[in-house]
Amino acid sequence: MIFVIMIVFGILSYAVSARLKNKFKKYSQIPLTKNLSGAEVAKLMLADHGIHDVEVICVPGKLTDHYNPANKSVNLSPEVYNGRNAAAAAVASHECGHAVQHATAYSMLEFRSAMVPVQNASAKILNVIMMVMLFGGFFLFSAFPVKMVLLVIIGAYGVMTLFSFVTLPVEFDASKRALAWIDERGIVNSQEHDMAKDALKWAAMTYVVVALGSLVTLLYYVSMFLGGRD
């Protein structure tokens, strides 16, 4: 059953990711009326919010855009950093939305940041357990009671599921801030706003799929544990 869940959500994740890439490619071919690059949009948004200690950096890869709160940097892929289109403006302003969240101590971002070490530890525990179950499940269940192993899995997946759902409002809020700012600043016209909104919607969908997949997997292991109770 767990393999069915993994396959289903793997297909969903691939479909959403492919849709996002197609949307980005489509909107990247339409020049922005203001002729601003993603880097210029990012720097302008940061300045407008009084943020002067965040660096805008170009990083290699596709769709590798992210905000790093540790060194206060907005990291943009080459397509976004140099792109002069609605998709680039949307992604650049979205990542700056995270910088604004950080600067204003947005509660959900702070909660998510605090969870990162626990989430990373949970992921490592799960990786070890899954590897042992795959190559030596007999020895694992000989050394430890099944219920104990299931409880550890449930605990780890519980942390990861909470983390994925906490991520959703952080991402939605960053997009909301981005769309509001590019409108107020006149970065986009009405048509470009719709393109930016659509691109950010599909980017957000990737996080939704991850959250739902994690929740379904957690519920599966909870049902296994409850079903095995005396």
Residue in 33, 32, 48 with CA at minimum distance from that of residue 82: 32
User: Cα(36)–Cα(47) distance, rounded to whole angstroms?
Assistant: 15
Average pLDDT, the chain: 92
Res 131: pLDDT: 79
> Mean per-residue pLDDT for 220-229?
82
Phi/psi of residue 85, nearest 5 degrees: -150, 175
User: Cα(202)–Cα(200) distance, rounded to whole angstroms?
Assistant: 5
Measured between its terminal Cα atoms, the distance across the chain in Å is 22
> Mean per-residue pLDDT for 81-108?
97
- Residue 7 pLDDT grade (very low, low, confident, very high; cuts 50, 70, 90): confident
> Mean per-residue pLDDT for 91-102?
98
* 140-153 tens-digit pLDDT: 666 667 788 889 99
Reply yes or no on whether 95 is catalytic. Answer: yes
Asked if the model's pLDDT at residue 136 lies above 70, the reply is no
User: Is residue 145 left, alpha or beta, with left meaning phi > 0 and alpha meaning psi from -120 to 50?
Assistant: beta
Q: Residue written as tokens 């949009």? A: 41
Res 137: pLDDT: 60
| Domains in the chain: boundaries | 2-227
Res 144: pLDDT: 67
Annotated catalytic residue, options 79, 95, 171, 192: 95
The percentage of the chain sitting over the pLDDT mark of 90, rounded to a whole number, equals 80
Following CA atoms 121, 126, 129, 134 in sequence, which dihedral angle do they give, to the nearest 10 degrees? -140
Asked if the model's pLDDT at residue 18 lies above 70, the reply is yes
Res 48: pLDDT: 97
- CA 75 from centre of chain: 14
> Mean per-residue pLDDT for 163-182?
97
Asked if the model's pLDDT at residue 119 lies above 70, the reply is yes
> Could you tell me where the DSSP H helices lie in the chain?
2-28, 38-48, 78-82, 86-103, 107-143, 146-184, 190-227
pTM (two decimals): 0.88
The conformation of residue 228, written as its DSSP 8-state character, comes to T
User: Cα(131)–Cα(124) distance, rounded to whole angstroms?
Assistant: 11
Return the SS3 of 68.
strand
Res 230: pLDDT: 42
